[in-house]
Amino acid sequence: MVRAIDVVSDTDVRSIVDKIRNQKYQARRAFRDHDATNLNSNSFDFPVSDNDLDGEAVEIGENSQYPRGNLTWSEVSAAYVKYGVELTISDESVADSAIDVVMESQEDMIRAEESRMDQVAFGVLSGNTNSNGPIDAGTDDTFAYSDFVNAREQAFVDELDMGSLAVMAAGQNMSDFLTMDEFTQASELGDQVIEQGVLPGGNLVGQEALLGTLGDMPVYLSNSGAFTEGQAFVVDSTNFGWESTRDPVDVESYYEDGKDQTVYQISGRFDWVATNPAANIEVDATSA
């Protein structure tokens, strides 16, 4: 009898994990990747500047000393947590040619696990925002283009990387963006732009997270349940924080003879830290 382990490879399962993460859940997109796979510890300390550089360039006379600038630092720690889930596919499902149906049902388990990790990342994202406070977008759960113009202005004042700004918002606000005159839908960006990766590929039915662009800012929607309707973040992901990976997502499979089924174990160890909350500007239109 043909077994699932002979038909579905670990790589196949890993591709499902990657697809779901890229299509559905977006809080993790705010973080840069940090490779901690060679770390011999279950934590890692990231340096965080406590203040601006104390000192300025001045005119220096002949044989005079240079003024010394001072900068103090603190630390924020990544403490790695292992996330994982097991999937099973029986020999009968393979023999009955029902493996496609079974794989679809197993995707629900992967989706739940990816959603859980995205919600952990969202807790860091929503809990570390620009100290100037959220952009006041009203209290009717809807966005206007001017809300994001104001966020861009704050980003410019705070000297963020204007070319790295992205909008992350709740899927419930899709219609707000699609009805803005200033919004360019992903389908209008052109196949060449999408396929060559200038911007991540996307469509309007939620199969990909990229909805389109506001000016030059890509807009990503999440349906992990973490985002509240009327809540969005304009993030400079090159400055905000880190997704630190102690063990990358791995898939291992083994066969259970007594149960005539293949087991796929999906696991990874991660943590998310914010090192520069100023790079995360909240736009708040929530009614609650």
What are the tens digits of pLDDT across the range 225-251? 889 999 999 999 999 999 999 998 888
What are the tens digits of pLDDT across the range 28-59? 999 999 999 999 899 999 888 766 544 556 66
User: Could you tell me if residue 61 is inside a domain?
Assistant: no
Q: Categorize the per-residue pLDDT at 258 as very low, low, confident or very high, splitting at 50, 70 and 90.
A: confident
Give the pLDDT score at 57.
Answer: 60
State yes or no: pLDDT of 208 exceeds 60. Answer: no
State yes or no: pLDDT of 69 exceeds 80. Answer: no
State yes or no: pLDDT of 132 exceeds 80. Answer: yes
Q: How many CA within 13 A on the CB side of residue 9?
A: 3
- What is the DSSP track for the chain? ---HHHHS-HHHHHHHHHHHHHHH--GGGGSEEEE-TT-SSSEEEEEEE-S--B-------TTPPPPPPB--EEEEEEE-EEEEEEEEEEHHHHHTT-HHHHHHHHHHHHHHHHHHHHHHHHHHHHTS--TT--EE--SSS---HHHHHHHHHHHHHTT--GGGEEEEEEGGGHHHHHT-TTEEEGGGS-HHHHHTTSS----TTSSSSEEEEETTEEEEEE-SS-SPTTEEEEEETTTSEEEEEEEEEEEEEEEEGGGTEEEEEEEEEEEEEES-GGGEEEEE----
User: Could you tell me if residue 57 is inside a domain?
Assistant: no
User: Could you tell me if residue 58 is inside a domain?
Assistant: no
User: Could you tell me if residue 38 is inside a domain?
Assistant: yes
User: Could you tell me if residue 168 is inside a domain?
Assistant: yes
Of residues 102 and 147, the one with the higher pLDDT is 147
CATH number, domain containing residue 204 = 3.90.1690
Q: How many domains does the chain have?
A: 1
pTM: 0.81
User: Could you tell me if residue 162 is inside a domain?
Assistant: yes
CA 177, CA 24: separation in Å to the nearest integer?
17
User: Could you tell me if residue 66 is inside a domain?
Assistant: no
- Residue span of the structural domain in which 174 resides: 4-51+72-284
What are the tens digits of pLDDT across the range 148-201? 999 999 999 999 999 999 999 998 999 999 899 888 776 566 544 444 444 444
User: Could you tell me if residue 24 is inside a domain?
Assistant: yes
State yes or no: pLDDT of 223 exceeds 70. Answer: yes
Give the pLDDT score at 99.
Answer: 63
Give the pLDDT score at 193.
Answer: 45
